[in-house]
């Protein structure tokens, strides 16, 4: 029974060095050489060189002049990138329907003329709480509001949305989407 103990201990030690030290260091080394931007968080840069956020991590927006991101269930505040989390609300939990109602009401209050149904991703919390994207439908829903608030024509805003709409990767993978932070940064440059 004990004759396997010594090889077990040595094997654990050895494989710890191999898979727990050599392997991650090798990946880190190669990653930092081959893909330094991505390996360090895909940061967006301001004109002055400081980080403006990450291309992959969403931010919260509540001012009408910005496109709003999806609701986020992270705590203690939305889009806390130090503690990712979904809401975990079940489909029949009354709290889910209440939250969705409140979000629909908030969107309508910011854009009183708009009575269209709200695209579902704009009123439901994402899985990570950090979703950087909204659907093209959710961007189109907000375009008239943003245009009005900024004194731009709806066409100008739609063109910008189109420029920031990513199609399915390689035409097949995933879903079409709009990166909200990149779109809002571009809006601020425009006007």
Partner 1 sequence: MTMPGFLQIILYLSVLLLLVKPLGAYMARVYQNEDVVLNRWGAALEHGCYRLCGVKPDHEMHWTEYAMAAMWLNFLGFLAVYALQRWQDVLPLNPQGLAAVSADSSFNTAVSFVTNTNWQGYGGESTMSYLTQMLGLSVQNFLSAASGMAVLVALIRGFNRRNTATIGNFWVDTLRSALYILLPLSLLLALVLVGQGVVQNFKPYQTVNLLQAASYDAPKLDADGKPVLAADGKPVTEATPLQQQTLALGPAASQIAIKQLGTNGGGFFNANSAHPYENPTPLANFLEMLAILLIPAALCYTFGVMIGDVRQGWVMLAAMTLVFVALVFCAAPAEQAGNPLLTPLGVDQAASAAQAGGNMEGKEVRFGVISSVLWSVATTAASNGSVNAMHDSFTPIGGMIPMWLMQLGEVIYGGVGSGLYGMIIYALIAVFLAGLMIGRTPEYLGKKVESFEVKMSAIVILVPPMMVLAGTAAALMVDVGKASIFNPGAHGFSEVLYAFSSAGNNNGSAFGGLSANTPFYNIALGLAMWFSRFWLMIPVLAIAGSFAAKKTTPFGPGTLATHTPLFVALLVGTVLLVGALTFVPALALGPVAEHLQMIAPR
Q: Which of residues 8-37 bind partner 1 (CB under 8 A)?
A: 8-12, 14-16, 18-21, 23-24, 26-28, 30-32, 34-35
Minimum CB distance to partner 1, residue 79 (Å): 7
Of the candidates 67, 70, 88, 91, the one whose C-alpha atom is nearest the C-alpha of residue 79 is 70
Closer Cβ to partner 1, 16 or 153, answer by number: 16
- Distance, in Å, from the CA atom of 158 to the CA atom of 154, rounded to the nearest integer, reads 6
Q: Which among 138, 185, 130 has a CA at the least distance from the CA of 160? A: 185
Residue that has been written with the tokens 């895909």 in this structure: 42
CA distance 124 to 97: 10
Which of 100, 106, 154, 186 is the binder for partner 1 (CB under 8 A)?
100
Range 108-127, binding partner 1 (CB under 8 A): 116-121, 123-127
Q: Shortest gap between Cβ of 75 and partner 1 (angstroms)?
A: 9
Query: Rule CB under 8 A: which of 56-95 touch partner 1?
Result: 56-63, 66, 70, 76-94
Q: Does 164 bind partner 1 (CB under 8 A)?
A: no
Q: Considering only the stretches 6-14, 143-151, 152-160, report the one whose residues sit in contact with partner 1 under the rule CB under 8 A.
A: 6-14
Q: Which is nearer to partner 1, 9 or 153 (CB)?
A: 9
User: Smallest gap, in angstroms, from Cβ of residue 21 to partner 1?
Assistant: 7
Continuous H helices in 18-115:
23-34, 36-39, 94-110
Determine, following the binding rule CB under 8 A, whether residue 42 of this chain makes contact with partner 1: yes
Exposed / middle / buried, residue 66 (Cβ in 10 Å: 0-12, 13-18, 19+): buried
Residue nearer to partner 1 on the CB measure, 81 or 156: 81
Angle between helices 180-190 and 136-150 (to 10 degrees): 20
């Amino acid at each position: 029974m004990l004759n396997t103990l010594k090889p077990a201990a040595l094997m654990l030690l050895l494989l710890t060095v191999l898979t727990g030290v050599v392997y991650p260091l090798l990946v880190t080394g190669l990653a930092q050489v081959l893909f330094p931007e991505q390996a360090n968080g895909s940061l967006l840069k301001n004109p002055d060189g400081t980080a403006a956020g990450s291309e992959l991590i969403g931010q919260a927006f509540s001012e009408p002049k910005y496109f709003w991101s999806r609701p986020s269930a992270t705590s203690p505040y939305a889009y806390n990138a130090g503690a990712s989390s979904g809401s975990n609300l079940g489909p029949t939990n009354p709290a889910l329907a209440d939250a969705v109602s409140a979000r629909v009401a908030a969107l309508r209050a910011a854009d009183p003329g708009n009575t269209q149904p709200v695209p579902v991703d704009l009123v439901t919390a994402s899985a990570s709480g950090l979703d950087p994207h909204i659907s093209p439908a959710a961007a189109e829903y907000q375009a008239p509001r943003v245009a009005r608030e900024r004194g731009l024509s709806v066409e100008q805003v739609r063109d910008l949305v189109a420029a920031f709409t990513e199609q399915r990767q390689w035409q097949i993978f995933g879903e079409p989407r709009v990166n909200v932070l990149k779109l809002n940064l571009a809006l601020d440059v425009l006007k």
